Structure 1
Amino acid sequence: MDFPVVEFPWFGNGSVIAVIAIVHVIVSHGIAIGATTLMVSLEYVGMKKNKEGLIDVAKKFSKWILIITTTVGALTGVGIWFSTTVIQPDSIGSLLRIFFWAWFVEWIVFITEVVLLLVYFYTWDKWKGAKRYIHNRIGMVLVLLGWLTAAIITGILSAKLTPGKWAETLSFWNAFFNPTYLPSLGFRTFIAIVLAVALVSIFVRFFIKDKNVQIDVFAVFGKINAVSLPLLLLTGVWYLFNIPQEAYDLIVWSTGMTKGIFTWVNIAGLIVFIIFGLWMLFKPGRISIILSLAVFFSSMGFIAEFEMVRESVRKPFIIYDYMYANGVVEKDAEKYNEEGYLPNSTFAAVEEVTEDNLYEAGEELYKGQCLACHTVDGWREKRAFATRLNGWTEEAIDTYIDTLHETRPFMPPFVGTEEEQKALAHFLHKVANEERQNNVEAKGEDE
């Protein structure tokens, strides 16, 4: 409400952030942390057992890790900053005020990580003999820096769900070392490694033609996965036990699945990971292409589900117990109910509701309080008002708005005066009924 509104009408503001975030997590976790760990491990085992094939595979890994992290990773990282700044400025502004120095340190760590990655890549052929061990140590530091980046960002992300004592103390340390920080960090650490095994294995299976080298690679992956997968499950359970009950209750809802489908999909995915892990341990020379593809796509689906759940279970908040998903600070809600939302909205084109500007006032309220999650019309029909409210009367919409936070606890309460509520109901009724009907008729005439 204190910033200009940017709208992506059909795709949805939340969907824009979600797509960028999912790609970034795959790169930052699966590549920058996970694949780098696998690469350095292959080099280490190759030196210890004098297997040049493993070292050669590690060298090939480094090329693609460098390319992907400095292109897709960097671009999506900037993309997250850009998209959240223009779509959720109130939220990102609050986080910057709390975590400025954490983000600054993370930037320094990231730059150092990129520099070391360049050194690591360009010294493969130059450092032979004893220097090869120095090269491998640089790789280990590279892994540590990648993990440290995640350790810093995890403190910020986990604070959005469990700010802990921060709401009372406003202390950086209370916010950063919040109740879910350690379980979340553990979960992200092991998900990065398991994800990397799933992502990389399909390429190992297709592109490494030497069968003996392929067996050696999968043997290393199998041992790493055998440790990481159980720890992933343990830290995941630890994390679930530390999130608020209200958030826990929204997990299934946030995926858009029924409870039965959610259970079976995730059990099936876990079974695929377990079978693949056991196969690598006991039959590294007979890895099935179908199984490799199954674990590859399962990992993609899991990351998408994880990001969707992580963002959605905070509702009705974007920063738990502090700021609602639409950017309204919880403590200011009563003030807006008395004084009005529009007079306190810096960039609203309308400040007062009148009989002549009901539609315009309602549109401003829609932009300020609904746009973060909803669209007028769009690909996500459950969040498109033209679909959800089609056939509703204006009075029914008005009544629903008044109690929506009670009937649907994951939605923020409407804040504003009765006149503003009626204006929003008027706007939603128009776009969901009259304008929708006009669009349908116009389309029919064109055909």
Structure 2
Amino acid sequence: MNFPTIDFGWLGNGNLIGMMAVLHVMINHAVAIGGCVLMVSIEYRAHKDNNPVLEGYARTLSKWIMIITTTAGAMTGVGIWFTTTVILPDAIGSLLRIFHWAWFTEWLVFVSEVVLLLTYFYTWDRWKGADKRKHLRIGIALCVMSWLTLVLITGILAAQINPGNWVETLSFWDAFFNPTWIPSMIFRTFAAIALGVAVLHVLNRWMVKSVRDRVTVQRIFGRWLAISVPVMLLSGFWYLRSLPDKAQTLVKWASGMSESAFIWLNIGGLLLIFILAVTLLDGKPKFPIALTVFTGVFSLLLITEFEIVRENIRKPYVIYNYMYANGVLKEDMEKYAQDGFLKHAKFTKIKEVTEANKLEVGEEIFAMQCMACHSIDGPRRSRAMTERIDGWSEDALVSFIPSMHLIRDVMPPFAGTQEEVEAVAAYLANVVAQINGDSPTDSEAKPQSAETPQKD
């Protein structure tokens, strides 16, 4: 309401943010963090054994890590800023105000990471003999800086779902050192290493020709994987227990699975990855390709699942107990109910509802309060109005909208007066009927119960 709205149409605003975020996390975790740790581990072993073949492999990895990090990684990172800023400017503005110095520090760390990565790649031939330890130290510093970016960003992201006492104290430290920060940081750290193994391990079959050297690399990967799997399992449960009570109840819904299926599928997948770790430590140059492929696919799906669940379980908020997912502050709800939403909306010329402008008002309010998650039509049918309210009458919508947050507890409450409710209902009934090729009916809405929230 404080900024212009933008509509990405059929694709959906929420879908665009989700796709960009998942893509960036995959690249950042697998390459910039996990890849760097594995690359430097291989160089350390090469230096220890005076093995030029392993050193050459680490050097090749550094080339591709540099290229991917500074291109796809940087572009998707900027893509997240672009999409979230234009779609959820109120939320991003609040996070920038709350975490000003954390964002600034993260920028300094990221610049240091890039400088170290470039230095690491372009100084392979600078030091010889015992002086090669200097190059290895640069690699270790690169790993630390890559990890620190994760530490800082995780503190900010974790505060969105459990800001601790920040809502009362407004203290930066209460927000950053929130209850979910440490378990989330630990889980992400070792998930990044496991993801790095999943990606790079496939390449070992083609890039490391010597059987002896391939076994050496496999054992390096196996050690990291054997550590990562149990730590991910423990920190994952810790993270779940640190969530607000309501968020914990939404995990099953957000994953799209039953509670038992969610638990056993994730535990079973991690156990299979652990089997791969044991296989790699065993030192056999050949092992089932299916297990390798499974590890890669499951690791990518696991981090995708984590991101999707994290985004969905904080609903109806974007910053828990402070700001709703549509950018409306919780403390302003009473004001909007009394004065009207339009009166306080800065980027609309319409300040009151009339019979003549009813549909236009409904469209404006839908854009400001609903479009962050929903679309009129689009590929994600659970969030498309043409699917959700097909066949609903205008009267049914008028009855449902004021109580939608009670019936579907992942929905923010409507902010506005009864007249504004009626305007939104009229607009939705009209536009959905036009797209679906029918007319609003007198059928009654039959929303789901609060105990079984739907994906809104």
Do both share a fold (TM > 0.5)?
Answer: yes
The superposition leaves residues 178-208 of structure 1 with CA deviations (integer Å, 9 ceiling, x where unpaired) of: 1111111111111111111111111112332
Hey, what's the Cα distance between the residues in 2 that align with 1:322 and 1:310? 17
1:442 counterpart residue number: none
1:381 counterpart residue number: 381
- TM-superposed deviation, 1:288: 2.4
Q: Check the 8 A contact 2:336/2:417 in 1, yes or no.
A: yes
- TM-superposed deviation, 1:264: 5.4
Structure 1 stretch displaced more, 285-294 or 174-183? 285-294
- TM-superposed deviation, 1:245: 1.3
The superposition leaves residues 55-77 of structure 1 with CA deviations (integer Å, 9 ceiling, x where unpaired) of: 22111110111001111111111
1:315 counterpart residue number: 315
1:117 counterpart residue number: 117
Letter of the aligned partner of 1:254 in structure 2? Answer: A
Question: Structure 1: where are the runs of 5+ without partners?
Answer: 440-447
Residues 1:251 and 2:257 aligned together: no
Hey, what's the Cα distance between the residues in 1 that align with 2:192 and 2:418? 49
Q: Structure 1 residues 231, 263: closer, same or farther in 2, change over 3 A?
A: closer
Hey, what's the Cα distance between the residues in 1 that align with 2:288 and 2:124? 32
1:365 counterpart residue number: 365
- TM-superposed deviation, 1:96: 0.6
- TM-superposed deviation, 1:295: 1.1
Residues 1:138 and 2:126 aligned together: no
Hey, what's the Cα distance between the residues in 2 that align with 1:289 and 1:56? 25
Letter of the aligned partner of 1:351 in structure 2? Answer: K
- TM-superposed deviation, 1:329: 0.2
Hey, what's the Cα distance between the residues in 1 that align with 2:212 and 2:31? 25
1:347 counterpart residue number: 347
Letter of the aligned partner of 1:215 in structure 2? Answer: V
Residues 1:21 and 2:17 aligned together: no
Hey, what's the Cα distance between the residues in 1 that align with 2:205 and 2:342? 59
Q: Check the 8 A contact 1:316/1:325 in 2, yes or no.
A: yes
Q: Check the 8 A contact 2:394/2:429 in 1, yes or no.
A: yes
Residues 1:411 and 2:411 aligned together: yes
Hey, what's the Cα distance between the residues in 2 that align with 1:223 and 1:375? 47
Letter of the aligned partner of 1:61 in structure 2? Answer: L
Structure 1 stretch displaced more, 342-351 or 112-121? 342-351
Question: Aligned residues: percent identity?
Answer: 50
The superposition leaves residues 252-300 of structure 1 with CA deviations (integer Å, 9 ceiling, x where unpaired) of: 2113345565455434432431222221122441232222111111111
Q: Check the 8 A contact 1:163/1:175 in 2, yes or no.
A: yes
Hey, what's the Cα distance between the residues in 2 that align with 1:206 and 1:7? 45
Q: Check the 8 A contact 1:205/1:287 in 2, yes or no.
A: no
Secondary structure of the structure 1 residue equivalent to 2:129: coil
Letter of the aligned partner of 2:117 in structure 1? Answer: L
Residues 1:293 and 2:293 aligned together: yes
2:105 counterpart residue number: 105
1:64 counterpart residue number: 64
TM-score, normalised on structure 1? Answer: 0.95
Structure 1 stretch displaced more, 203-212 or 263-272? 263-272
Letter of the aligned partner of 1:109 in structure 2? Answer: V
Hey, what's the Cα distance between the residues in 1 that align with 2:413 and 2:303? 30
Hey, what's the Cα distance between the residues in 1 that align with 2:431 and 2:252? 30
Question: Structure 2: where are the runs of 5+ without partners?
Answer: 440-456
Structure 1 stretch displaced more, 332-341 or 245-254? 245-254
Letter of the aligned partner of 2:374 in structure 1? Answer: H
Structure 1 stretch displaced more, 414-423 or 427-436? 427-436
The superposition leaves residues 3-47 of structure 1 with CA deviations (integer Å, 9 ceiling, x where unpaired) of: 000111111111111111111111222111111000111111121
- TM-superposed deviation, 1:84: 0.8
Residues 1:90 and 2:90 aligned together: yes
Hey, what's the Cα distance between the residues in 2 that align with 1:406 and 1:50? 66
2:41 counterpart residue number: 41
Q: Structure 1 residues 21, 117: closer, same or farther in 2, change over 3 A?
A: same
Residues 1:228 and 2:228 aligned together: yes
Hey, what's the Cα distance between the residues in 2 that align with 1:145 and 1:262? 34
Letter of the aligned partner of 1:431 in structure 2? Answer: V
Q: Check the 8 A contact 1:219/1:284 in 2, yes or no.
A: no
Hey, what's the Cα distance between the residues in 1 that align with 2:261 and 2:234? 23
Hey, what's the Cα distance between the residues in 2 that align with 1:406 and 1:364? 24
2:207 counterpart residue number: 207
Letter of the aligned partner of 1:76 in structure 2? Answer: T
The alignment's C-alpha RMSD in Å is 1.5
Q: Check the 8 A contact 2:204/2:214 in 1, yes or no.
A: yes
The superposition leaves residues 357-385 of structure 1 with CA deviations (integer Å, 9 ceiling, x where unpaired) of: 11111111111111011010000111101
Secondary structure of the structure 1 residue equivalent to 2:76: helix
Structure 1 stretch displaced more, 357-366 or 52-61? 52-61
TM-score, normalised on structure 2? Answer: 0.93
Hey, what's the Cα distance between the residues in 1 that align with 2:283 and 2:290? 15
1:275 counterpart residue number: 275
The superposition leaves residues 50-104 of structure 1 with CA deviations (integer Å, 9 ceiling, x where unpaired) of: 3332222111110111001111111111111111110100000001111111111
Moved over 3 A (4+): 256-265
Letter of the aligned partner of 2:52 in structure 1? Answer: E
Q: Check the 8 A contact 1:349/1:364 in 2, yes or no.
A: no
Structure 1 stretch displaced more, 270-279 or 224-233? 270-279
Q: Check the 8 A contact 1:398/1:422 in 2, yes or no.
A: yes
Q: Structure 1 residues 300, 263: closer, same or farther in 2, change over 3 A?
A: same
Hey, what's the Cα distance between the residues in 2 that align with 1:434 and 1:260? 42
Hey, what's the Cα distance between the residues in 1 that align with 2:426 and 2:261? 38
- 1:330-345 alignment runs, 5 A limit: 330-345=330-345
Residues 1:436 and 2:436 aligned together: yes
Hey, what's the Cα distance between the residues in 1 that align with 2:258 and 2:437? 32
The superposition leaves residues 290-327 of structure 1 with CA deviations (integer Å, 9 ceiling, x where unpaired) of: 22111111111112111111111100000000000000
1:216 counterpart residue number: 216
2:186 counterpart residue number: 186
- TM-superposed deviation, 1:434: 3.2
Letter of the aligned partner of 1:407 in structure 2? Answer: I
Secondary structure of the structure 2 residue equivalent to 1:318: strand
- Number of matched pairs: 439
1:427 counterpart residue number: 427
